[in-house]
Amino acid sequence: MSLLFWNFCECNVYCSFLLFISLGVISISLGVISISLGVISISLGVISISLGVISISLGVISISLGVISISLGVISISLGVISISLGVISISLGFCPSARQLTHCSPGS
């Protein structure tokens, strides 16, 4: 199952960046730094700043309600447009079905 997951990610990771930017929901993760524009959420280690939504910060754990954002160390998960960031890698789930048109991945690859 993990192999299928990573193959899916490899096929769609670059188009997810394009879709994030074009939809105005930009998600950037650099180590423990997570920046999300749209519903603005900035997390720097234990510091969390959120505009327009409720933000709860517990150590490195940041939870924002509205566009739900959960940040655990270097792992950032946002629900709505679901994005998973591991280090500098950003993966988008939800818009990838339409994004498959932009990729050259064969089915089942």
Residue 109 lies in a domain: no
Q: Is residue 108 part of a domain?
A: no
Pairing mode, strands 26-30 and 33-37: antiparallel
When pLDDT is cut at 50, 70 and 90, the band that residue 104 belongs to is very low
In a domain, 17, yes or no: yes
107 within some domain: no
Q: Is residue 63 part of a domain?
A: yes
pLDDT digits (tens, 9 = 90+) for 14-68: 444 444 444 444 444 444 445 555 444 544 444 444 444 444 444 444 444 444 4
Q: Which domain holds residue 17?
A: 2-102
Total number of domains in the chain: 1
What string of DSSP letters covers 27-82?
EEEETTEEEEETTEEEEETTEEEEESSEEEEETTEEEEETTEEEEETTEEEEETTE
Residue 95, domain member (yes or no)? yes
pTM over 0.95: no
